[in-house]
Structure 1
């Protein structure tokens, strides 16, 4: 009887590669599933507020966040299992060669023969992304209109959802197809060093997309308005000037149009930096904190304002503390470092990103914002139903931001100094 090693050696090279890809894919999936299982067990068994959070988190909020994260974890398990099985079936049933041949037939009928492999590749990419969008649609619908709706985050109607999905697909293709065609052309003419030219091209494209995203792509989906003149804008400009941050504009984006989750970020290179605040981050701007006008039922053809939600968002001092943290990433060079490290290894990026978060918190502390950042982190965690307890392996592997308890402890020590 032949040993497994002998049987493996007798397989043709292409079958060994095929089996290796399949085994590696399932090994990664099983590792991720194992980590998710550990974290899901934390969600199920941690039913009381940890004593460290007893003074800052009530049991009702804790239970809501626990159930939200448990629902999300369960959903991720089933959607991940489906994705892995789907990918395996595509490989086993020859889905990729079938789609490639179909792409050749379509491009051939359009007048592009076999010598036009770039055209065939673009047709293949278009069909593959269309297939992915269609098969992923039920999962996206369930996530938005069942899980996010159940826990009070969804602000979209079904019509808005589909219009948004179609727009995203079209915009994605308008970017993806030209970039891919240029990349394939570079690979075709690059000779022995094509991989270097391809890497440099993808790096440049990434930098360009980061630069133009907020100005030209994001406004296609959400409305960006300049932050009105007032105390908050003046305070933001003063803080930016104090650290030589080259701020040119401050925007408020209507994030409440699709979700009640909150966020803030900055973008831009060199001397042209902009700050973007989600309206859900600001108490005074979030549509979710406003009562509908007289005669309105709080819902229109695109979005629905859930006035039943409790007041959310941060006060001006807390917003400034959050921005102090974000500006710390800029001042300490984290953005550039992340871009460089992302070209090497994603796990190292996660580990280093956690360190960067502590450093950015410390920078906000140096700006005198420790107390306000402490309260802002608690408030944002509450608004977003973040669960403060994590399995240590799951956290180390997945969380680019340290757990809330660790960040609060560091800030608490800072406040006591």
Structure 2
């Protein structure tokens, strides 16, 4: 039987779920209308973007929006059903009856494994459509069916292998960590996350894509010279074979301590048949990425992440013994699994906080991007960076016109026109 408090918690969860969905839908509709009504290349890009590329980018963005409408609509209906029907509690009861070992940890692992398997299966048709219909239509998908299936299997096995032991550790800390368990939980999860950030690029990412050293040549020499000039502790230069998965381009560096590694997607490098960037443009992109390093953006983001994690665990410590948060999602009285409480608090109870934090982090990320662009400008890379941004936008079929509200909420990277205008302004001042 539901109590008044249970009902309040349940309908509060559903209210915030639908409020977030309707807000996102409103923003998506605004952007969709912009795409439909903008039929000419912006005057700032007419010298570098032809009508065919613009129309293809417009069509791609409209098709992605339609896909997004269907997927987000299906997602909110599924989530509403899960919460309202008490499916979380039913799966818990089933796990409890089938698990070969007694105890909350074993039941929680089976419960989580069933949920994630269920989620993977439900998402599979959307993944197939996105890769083999939507991305295929515009020439981005490079995966074969075999590659796609193996990729999904590897991702599933890896996620289960990492997630279940980590969740087991978290449950034990909460149950036996005393009144200040949230401190020990924060320390443990922080250490685990830092370890994953350290080992992922070297040991996990190569399970999915092939990494090879950048061949000797002009580009490698120029990158090493740039790194030396900035005293960037460059260890290795790699090219990742992203073209087997997608035609989209990227570049990044990684390494929290000591020597760092720079990774270039093979799709970023210039190829006559598929676009890409010239050497000076690649150097400009890397100058931007090194601007993030110079300004300590990675460290700042880690500090913010750890601070946010601590606040979440503090809130969880105050709420996880409150029976209505369990009964609202279908659990009987006195059944209060740690993992369920953590899920409900983090994903549902803290939903307004998460949305606000996401927006603030988006604003901060845009500020960081402008800072990194300014750093590249100081290195004399403003003009090739502008060319690189335009080329990458064309290669990725990015639509250059955005609704201001949609962009402010969603874009952690400033839109193309904003970045070009800022780079031109900085170049003139310099």
TM-score by length of 2: 0.86
Q: Aligned equivalents of 1:379 and 1:260: distance in 2?
A: 13
In the alignment, what sits opposite 2:166? 179
In the alignment, what sits opposite 1:65? 57
Q: State which of 116, 130, 134 in structure 1 corresponds to 2:121.
A: 134
Q: List aligned pairs for 1:123-202, cutoff 5 A.
A: 123-202=110-189
- Give a deviation string over 1:217-271, Cα, whole Å, max 9, x none: 0000100001112111111111111111111001100000010000000000122
In the alignment, what sits opposite 2:364? 352
**Runs ≥4 residues deviating over 6 A:** none
Q: State which of 233, 236, 241 in structure 1 corresponds to 2:228.
A: 241
Q: State which of 262, 267, 288 in structure 2 corresponds to 1:325.
A: 288
In the alignment, what sits opposite 1:103? 95
- Give a deviation string over 1:195-226, Cα, whole Å, max 9, x none: 22222322222221111111000000100001
TM-score by length of 1: 0.89
Q: Aligned equivalents of 2:117 and 2:361: distance in 1?
A: 31
Q: State which of 247, 256, 260 in structure 2 corresponds to 1:269.
A: 256
In the alignment, what sits opposite 1:339? 302
Q: Aligned equivalents of 1:203 and 1:348: distance in 2?
A: 22
SS, match of residue 263 in structure 2: strand
Following TM superposition, by how much is the alpha carbon of 1:416 offset from its aligned partner in structure 2, in angstroms? 3.3
SS, match of residue 180 in structure 2: helix
In the alignment, what sits opposite 1:390? 402
Structural RMSD (CA):
1.3
- Give a deviation string over 1:65-113, Cα, whole Å, max 9, x none: 1111111111111101101100111122221111001111111xx1x12
Q: State which of 203, 214, 219 in structure 1 corresponds to 2:190.
A: 203
Pairs aligned (count): 379
Contact 2:10 2:84 in 1 (8 A): no
In the alignment, what sits opposite 2:46? 54
Q: Aligned equivalents of 1:66 and 1:411: distance in 2?
A: 25
SS, match of residue 233 in structure 1: helix
Following TM superposition, by how much is the alpha carbon of 1:411 offset from its aligned partner in structure 2, in angstroms? 1.3
Answer with 134-143 or 226-235: which moved more: 226-235
Q: Which has the higher contact order (CA 8 A, sep 6+)?
A: 2
